[in-house]
């Protein structure tokens, strides 16, 4: 069996006196879509942020491919987030002053690609996510569903090995949520990216290959493994 893309073992994280993770473990294979579920305050978003190198765990082991993320410097983690990780959040977090096209091209521009080439690739991704018609609009001028598909295009444009999605349909109605998940899932599978998806919605988790439940900072794999 090949090594997992991501592997977390016995992660602990406290915020002051409040425990967020109390021994969470999780593995994610390349190209796999894993749904992380649990009630509010269970630690699922903290687990996602640890996996993505945004939050450092207090203890435990965390590996991405052959790298020990707990030993990486802040600069190394930042480089990983720019080049090999993609992110999609509940409210998109698009830059309001930029057009949707410029938002999608932004990760490539930050990595040094020239504007014309970056925006050409951004147009291709907007088309794949079926929102090329909003390229010239700013985020405040598009619907929530359109904004999330723009966010998905931005998350995938760098060709990440892993995409971290935190409640990506939480602010959408059921119809737009379904459309976002169908397009996100299809685009991720076509590009070979693994997806770690935090959600409290069963209909969203149904798109995943596997479901992990987080309760009181600990994880349980519904397939039976930890």
Q: Dump pLDDT digits (tens) for 58-72.
A: 999 999 998 999 999
- Closest by CA to 134, choosing from 149, 120, 121, is 149
Residue 90: the pLDDT is 78
* Element at 139 (helix H, strand E): none
171 falls within a domain: yes
Q: How many whole angstroms separate alpha carbon 147 and alpha carbon 128?
A: 14
* Element at 147 (helix H, strand E): helix 144-156
* Element at 98 (helix H, strand E): none
The enclosing domain of 113 has a CATH number of 3.40.50.300
Domain count, the chain: 1
Q: Residue 170 — pLDDT band, cuts 50, 70, 90? A: confident
Residue 158: the pLDDT is 95
105 falls within a domain: yes
Average pLDDT, the chain: 92
45 falls within a domain: yes
Tokens of 30: 């390349």
- Closest by CA to 168, choosing from 212, 182, 31, 159, is 182
1 falls within a domain: no
* Element at 198 (helix H, strand E): strand 194-198
60 falls within a domain: yes
> In this structure, what is the dihedral angle of CA atoms 183, 186, 187, 193, given to the nearest 10 degrees?
130
Segments forming the whole domain that contains residue 196: 6-221
Q: How many whole angstroms separate alpha carbon 149 and alpha carbon 167?
A: 13
- Closest by CA to 49, choosing from 102, 96, 13, 101, is 13
| Range scoring the smallest mean pLDDT among 86-90, 91-95, 99-103 | 91-95
Q: Dump pLDDT digits (tens) for 180-190.
A: 999 999 999 99
38 falls within a domain: yes
């Amino acid at each position: 069996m090949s090594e997992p893309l991501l592997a977390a073992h016995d992660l602990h994280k406290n915020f002051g006196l409040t425990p967020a993770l109390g021994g969470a473990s999780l593995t994610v294979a390349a190209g796999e879509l894993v749904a992380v579920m649990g009630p509010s305050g269970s630690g699922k978003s903290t687990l996602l942020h640890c996996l993505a190198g945004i939050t450092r765990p207090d203890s435990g082991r965390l590996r991405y491919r052959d790298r020990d993320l707990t030993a990486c410097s802040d600069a190394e983690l930042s480089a990983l987030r720019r080049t090999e990780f993609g992110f999609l959040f509940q409210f998109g977090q698009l830059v309001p002053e930029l057009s949707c096209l410029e938002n999608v091209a932004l990760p490539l521009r930050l990595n040094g690609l020239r504007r014309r080439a970056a925006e050409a690739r951004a147009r291709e991704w907007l088309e794949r996510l079926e929102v090329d018609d909003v390229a010239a609009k700013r985020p405040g001028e598009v619907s929530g569903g359109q904004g999330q598909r723009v966010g998905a295009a931005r998350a995938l444009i760098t060709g990440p090995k892993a995409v971290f999605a935190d409640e990506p349909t939480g602010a959408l109605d059921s119809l737009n949520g379904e459309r976002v998940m169908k397009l996100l899932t299809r685009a991720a599978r076509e590009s070979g990216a693994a997806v770690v998806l935090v959600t409290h919605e069963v209909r969203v988790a149904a798109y995943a290959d596997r479901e992990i439940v987080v309760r009181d900072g600990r994880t349980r794999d519904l397939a039976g493994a930890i």
